[in-house]
A = this chain, B = another copy of it.
Amino acid sequence: MDVIEDMPANVVSRILRNSDPASRSQINQLLNYPKDSAGSIMTTEYVFLHPDATVEESFARIRKEGMDKETIYTCYVTQNRVLLGVVTVKRLLLSSYETRIRDIMETNVLSVNTHEDKEDVAQMLNKYDLSAIPVVDGDNRMVGIVTFDDAMDVIEEETTEDFEKMAAILPSDKPYLKTGVFETWRSRIPWLMLLMLSATFTGIIITKFENALAACVVLTSFIPMLSGTGGNSGSQSSTAIIRALSLDEIDFSDMVAVVWKEIRVAVLCGVCLACANFVKMMLVDRLLMNNPEVTPVVALVVCLTLVFTVLCAKVVGCTLPMAAEKIGIDPAVMASPFITTIVDALSLLIYFFFATHLLTLS
């Protein structure tokens, strides 16, 4: 670390220039830019121009310096390292040779701070279709640029992380086949363990209603279908919301609109599923497979449970990721596995509620 900090700027700059984004990121981290910050992925290879230079002088400078630079098409106008504006080569080409840079530069420049999250920076480049964005320090002094190709890499990396978190895997940086067996195990076991142990609650619920199950054994056979459908309904909502959050399509203020929408979708889905399931239970389970235990009342219990499970699943599925975002937890963690565990317990409670109320009456 000290080794790099003591190096002259031009040496560091040379190392940075000759390195791929991954090792550049490592070096930038050594220079005290936090991991996942704009500073950690920026390159210092940009062309800067003086505001009082003419277009002709600027072209000379680009010709002389541009050879090594990562991008020359957007030049940054700085004075005492403070960023004053940008000028594109397109603009330079369309201007006369005597024009001063100061007169043609664009002063309304979008820039980011070194400490800004690299994912936000990448999304910004994507949103505004920029090929590069300048990075400035606390005193508005320019220290580097983040280019679109590095932004694309960041987006790819962060998407992979989202996928991993949503499948209850701790994120890793390495490609699948390059990750060792122990490392893969280490990234997968914590959530598996946590979710397995939290399934203790579903066990307790079933044990509590053991008598109901013993009185009507056929009820057991619908438990996997109910928890499966609940889990799928919940993960549809949570995935849609997590993705919409990460694309900035929605935020916490949309909570009411989102929940209201999910409730209506849930009712539609729940009623459809319940009707189909009622027909299936009457035709397949009762008639075709000749199971006399599948009475219309049992079917009613299962179908009512379906409607309310889907409703709960969709509401839990949309609220948890938004709440997580609000309190600063990555919403991707609130995905299928987490939701499924909660919905499993909820669906059993709903099931036994209807079973004990409707079946003792019949």
Contact = CB atoms under 8 A, between A and B. Distances in A.
Interface of A: 59, 62-63, 66-67, 72-73, 89-90, 93-94, 125-126, 129, 131, 148-149, 151-153, 155-156, 159-160, 163-164, 166-169, 175-177, 181-182, 184-185, 188-189, 191-193, 195-197, 199-200, 202-204, 206-207, 210, 213-214, 217-218, 220-225, 227-229, 231-233, 235-236, 238-244, 247, 249-250, 254, 257-258, 261, 264-265, 268-269, 272-273, 276-277, 280, 284-285, 289, 291, 306, 310, 336-337, 340-341, 344, 348
Nearest to A249: B175
A129 to B, nearest CB: 4
B148 A152 contact: yes
A233 B192 contact: yes
A257 to B, nearest CB: 6
A258 B175 CA distance: 12
A169 B336 CA distance: 13
A225 B196 contact: yes
B160 A247 contact: yes
A94 B69 CA distance: 13
Given A152-B152, A203-B222, 11 more contacts: A148-B152, A152-B155, A159-B159, A168-B235, A176-B258, A188-B269, A196-B273, A202-B221, A207-B221, A220-B220, A224-B348
A232 B126 contact: no
Contacts of A236: 167-169, 188, 192
Contacts of A148: 131, 148-149, 152
A153 B152 CA distance: 10
Given A175-B244, A185-B265, A126 B156 contact: yes
A127 B271 CA distance: 47
- Interface centre among A152, A193, A222, A280, by most chain B C-beta atoms within 10 angstroms, is A152
Copies of this chain, whole number = 2
Contacts of A258: 176-177
A340 B231 contact: yes
A199 B159 CA distance: 31
A137 B131 CA distance: 27
Contacts of A285: 203
A169 B63 contact: no
A214 to B, nearest CB: 6
A94 B218 CA distance: 81
Given A224-B206, A235-B167, A235-B168, A181 B261 contact: yes
B225 A273 contact: no
B176 A149 contact: no
Contact of A192 (B66, B203, B210, B229): B229
A185 to B, nearest CB: 4
Contact of A291 (B156, B207, B244): B207
Contacts of A231: 231, 337, 340
Nearest to A163: B243
B265 A176 contact: no
A177 B247 CA distance: 12
Contacts of A254: 177
A352 B279 CA distance: 29
A227 B229 contact: no
Nearest to A344: B224
Nearest to A254: B177
